[in-house]
């Protein structure tokens, strides 16, 4: 008897095993009027709510789009109309969500109609459905959240509805070509929430008064934006880089009207919102604007009416009004030239600024910032010798002074301040160096050797040499020992042309007393 019972239990276990293996990730399925089958799972038995889910239960959507259904034949195709109510075994349920990956990879869908009862469209719900190009998706007012990647690659060109959406998660419409969207109830935009095509398709965005947070790169690459309406009276918090890789610098920002334009000025002066081309209060008559397109070279910044304008950006100025432009060179730079509308206005600048009295047409502003050049002038008292050295900002000046026989160095000053006979300092402005000598009957003069770099400023640059008792001749020798050029001169200063492209060599100096000295230097 015991043996019989044991065998019976064993058979029972074998019989139950297949049933356990066939457990499904959904609770039931239903066939729609269009002939498609959708799968559902109960989310709240008491409230009788269900979510539309996929057939396999797979929720790993990152890069995986084909295993939401066991075979392609099970995927719904054509025009999909999801009902508000579904019935199973006599119980009627309300559809309140589209679950993760519910229709992910259903590439033969042509359109989707969502019920007015759903609250959530979950992650990757319609990812890579490839709806008919130019498709419109209507988001019912009941939807409160659209999760990450929900419509990634769904070929959507237009989004309507969205009246109740409070949370929009990252990449919700990635690779869609929507040109405008209105989110009147939005509270939080996640990072990359409104990143669409790689070049940015959005032209108009309207965000509601309840907006509190905008995440990192929420509007990544949306450089084609023309109208940005933000109904929040306080500047939304979140990432300082909410605009992503490129700022929507040619858009007009519209904000709520307030006394004395308080809200408008709050946005205009917030460092994270200063790049818009124009600012306007909601409800005002649309103003007519002219644009100043900015182009800069070198290091420096341009500001128009107090707002910085990066190179390549445009700044809007109300037509017929004035515009104040200021230029701020970076350290070691200065304003080289400024052209406005093709006219050189460099000589018309007032300090580092310029005012356009009335702007009546679009114009281009081109500014070049060039490296500042400073002069260190070395003068030898009693000989008349003067030698000018040119330096860029921050370059190092070096000068070593030694006295010949019969000569005493009485002193060295830099800008009137006493200094030692060995000078070494970085140049951030022009300086005057004065060397005082006294001869005591010797036959040789003082030798003054500048150790600083000599620059080749142009194709016809030159080497300048100074000696108190004059120069008989100068030869320029390359590092291979060949004489490149010579110049016979007399007096205290000699100059020799520096051949184009020559960067280093030896200067051989013959002085009037017959002595010769050589200085190796880089030009």
The 10s digit of each residue's pLDDT in 110-121 is 999 999 999 999
Residues 244, 247, 251, 255: is their CA dihedral positive or negative?
A: positive
Higher pLDDT, residue 90 or 464: 90
Confidence of residue 458 (pLDDT cuts 50, 70, 90): very low
pLDDT digits 0-9 by tens, 161-178: 999 999 999 999 999 999
pLDDT digits 0-9 by tens, 184-216: 999 999 999 999 998 899 999 999 999 999 999
Report if residue 427 sits inside a domain. yes
pLDDT at residue 234 tops 60:
yes
Which of the listed residues 420, 451, 482 is the one where a domain comes to its end? Answer: 451
Q: What is the mean pLDDT of residues 89-109?
A: 93
Report the chain's mean pLDDT, rounded to a whole number.
81
Query: Comparing C-alpha atoms, which of 393, 377, 399, 386 is closest to residue 453?
Result: 399
Lowest-confidence pick of 272-276, 279-283, 400-404, 453-457 = 453-457
Q: Which domain holds residue 466?
A: 454-523
Write down the pLDDT at residue 248: 86
DSSP for 292-313 reads EEEEEESSEEEEETTEE--TT-
Higher pLDDT, residue 158 or 500: 158
Pair 447, 383 in one domain? yes
Report if residue 24 sits inside a domain. no
Confidence of residue 32 (pLDDT cuts 50, 70, 90): very high
Lowest-confidence pick of 59-63, 277-281, 314-318, 495-499 = 495-499
Which of the listed residues 306, 341, 369 is the one where a domain comes to its end? Answer: 369
Confidence of residue 16 (pLDDT cuts 50, 70, 90): very low
pLDDT digits 0-9 by tens, 340-362: 999 999 999 998 899 999 999 98
Pair 293, 365 in one domain? yes
Helix (H) or strand (E) holding 188: strand 188-189
pLDDT at residue 445 tops 60:
no
Q: Are 314 and 291 spatial neighbours (Cβ–Cβ below 8 Å)?
A: yes
- How far apart, in Å, are the Cα atoms of 109 and each of 43, 52, 135, 149, 195? 26, 16, 11, 17, 23
Write down the pLDDT at residue 381: 72
Pair 504, 468 in one domain? yes
Q: What is the mean pLDDT of residues 75-91?
A: 94
Q: What is the mean pLDDT of residues 503-513?
A: 64
Q: List, in sequence order, every residue forming a beta bridge with 369; answer none if it has no partner.
A: 335
pLDDT at residue 73 tops 70:
yes
Confidence of residue 376 (pLDDT cuts 50, 70, 90): confident
Write down the pLDDT at residue 295: 93
Confidence of residue 408 (pLDDT cuts 50, 70, 90): confident
pLDDT at residue 10 tops 60:
no
Write down the pLDDT at residue 346: 93
Pair 496, 475 in one domain? yes
Cβ-based neighbours of 216, under 8 Å, separated by 6 or more: 191, 192, 238, 239, 241, 242, 244
Confidence of residue 511 (pLDDT cuts 50, 70, 90): low
Which of the listed residues 347, 369, 391 is the one where a domain comes to its end? Answer: 369
Pair 390, 416 in one domain? yes
pLDDT at residue 490 tops 60:
no
Q: What is the mean pLDDT of residues 487-495?
A: 53
Lowest-confidence pick of 147-156, 243-252, 482-491 = 482-491
Lowest-confidence pick of 261-270, 330-339, 429-438, 495-504 = 495-504
pLDDT at residue 241 tops 70:
yes
Q: What is the mean pLDDT of residues 406-415?
A: 81
Write down the pLDDT at residue 456: 33
**Cα–Cα distance between 333 and 397 in angstroms, integer?**
19
Report if residue 92 sits inside a domain. no
pLDDT at residue 399 tops 90:
no
Lowest-confidence pick of 13-27, 64-78, 387-401 = 13-27
Report if residue 496 sits inside a domain. yes
Report if residue 248 sits inside a domain. no
Confidence of residue 410 (pLDDT cuts 50, 70, 90): confident
**Cα–Cα distance between 511 and 491 in angstroms, integer?**
10
How many percent of the chain have pLDDT more than 70?
A: 76
CATH classification of the domain holding 426:
2.60.40
Write down the pLDDT at residue 444: 35
Pair 426, 376 in one domain? yes
pLDDT at residue 462 tops 80:
no
Write down the pLDDT at residue 207: 95
Pair 390, 359 in one domain? no
Q: What is the mean pLDDT of residues 415-443?
A: 79
Write down the pLDDT at residue 306: 82
How is residue 136 annotated by DSSP? E
DSSP for 233-298 reads SS--EE-TTTTTTS--TTPEEEE---GGGHHHHHHHHSGGGTT-SEEEETTSPPPPEEEEEEEEES
Counting the structural domains of the chain, the total is: 3
Report if residue 284 sits inside a domain. no
Report pTM: 0.58
Confidence of residue 510 (pLDDT cuts 50, 70, 90): low
Distance of CA 485 to the CA centre of its chain: 51
Pair 364, 398 in one domain? no
Pair 359, 392 in one domain? no
Pair 348, 407 in one domain? no
Pair 390, 351 in one domain? no
CATH classification of the domain holding 496:
2.60.40.1220
Write down the pLDDT at residue 92: 96
Higher pLDDT, residue 249 or 441: 249
Write down the pLDDT at residue 453: 32
Pair 431, 477 in one domain? no
Report if residue 463 sits inside a domain. yes
Q: What is the mean pLDDT of residues 267-289?
A: 84
Report if residue 230 sits inside a domain. no
Write down the pLDDT at residue 405: 63
């Amino acid at each position: 008897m015991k043996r019989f019972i044991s065998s019976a239990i064993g058979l029972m276990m074998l019989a139950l095993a297949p049933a356990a293996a066939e457990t499904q990730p959904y609770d039931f399925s239903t066939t729609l009027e269009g002939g498609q089958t959708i799968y559902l799972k109960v989310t709240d038995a008491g409230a009788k709510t269900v979510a539309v889910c996929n057939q396999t239960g797979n929720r790993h959507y990152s890069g995986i789009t084909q295993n939401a259904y066991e075979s392609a034949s099970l995927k719904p195709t054509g025009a999909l109309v999801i009902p508000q109510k579904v019935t199973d075994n006599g119980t009627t349920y309300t559809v309140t969500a589209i679950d993760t990956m519910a229709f992910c990879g259903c590439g033969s869908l042509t359109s989707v109609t969502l019920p007015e009862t759903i609250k959530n469209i979950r992650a990757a719900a319609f990812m890579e459905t490839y709806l008919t190009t130019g498709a419109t998706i209507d988001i019912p007012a009941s939807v409160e959240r659209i999760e990450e990647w929900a419509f990634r690659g769904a070929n959507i060109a237009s989004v309507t509805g969205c009246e109740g959406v409070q949370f929009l998660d990252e990449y919700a419409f990635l690779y869609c070509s929507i040109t405008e969207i209105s989110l009147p109830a939005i509270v939080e935009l996640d990072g990359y929430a409104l990143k669409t095509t790689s070049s940015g398709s959005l032209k108009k965005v309207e965000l509601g008064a309840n907006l509190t947070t905008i995440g990192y790169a929420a509007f990544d690459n949306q450089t084609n934006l023309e109208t940005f309406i933000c109904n929040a009276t306080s500047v939304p918090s979140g990432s300082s880089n909410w605009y992503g890789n490129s700022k929507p610098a040619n858009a007009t920002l519209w904000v709520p009207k307030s006394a004395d334009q308080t809200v408008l000025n709050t946005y205009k002066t917030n460092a994270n919102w200063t790049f818009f081309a124009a600012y306007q209060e909601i409800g005002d008559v649309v103003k007519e604007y002219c644009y100043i397109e900015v182009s800069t070279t070198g290091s420096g910044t341009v500001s128009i009416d107090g707002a910085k304008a990066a190179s390549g950006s445009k700044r809007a100025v109300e037509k017929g009004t004035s515009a104040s432009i200021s230029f701020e060179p970076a350290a070691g730079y200065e304003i080289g030239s400024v052209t406005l509308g093709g006219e050189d206005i460099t000589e018309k600048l007032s300090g580092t600024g310029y005012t356009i009295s009335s702007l009546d047409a679009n114009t281009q502003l081109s500014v070049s910032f060039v490296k500042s050049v400073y002069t260190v002038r070395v003068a030898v008292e009693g000989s008349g010798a003067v030698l000018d050295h040119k330096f860029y900002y921050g370059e190092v000046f070096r000068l070593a002074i030694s006295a010949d026989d019969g000569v005493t160095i009485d002193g060295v000053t830099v800008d009137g301040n006493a200094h030692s006979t060995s000078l070494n300092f970085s140049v951030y402005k022009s300086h005057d160096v004065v060397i005082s000598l006294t001869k005591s009957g010797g036959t040789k003069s003082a030798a003054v050797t500048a150790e600083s770099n000599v620059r080749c400023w142009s194709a016809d640059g030159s080497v300048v040499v100074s000696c108190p008792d004059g120069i008989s001749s100068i030869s320029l020798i390359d590092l291979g020992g060949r004489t490149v050029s010579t110049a016979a001169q007399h007096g205290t200063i000699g100059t020799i042309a520096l051949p184009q492209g020559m960067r280093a060599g030896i200067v051989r100096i013959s002085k009037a007393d017959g002595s010769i000295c050589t200085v190796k230097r880089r030009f």
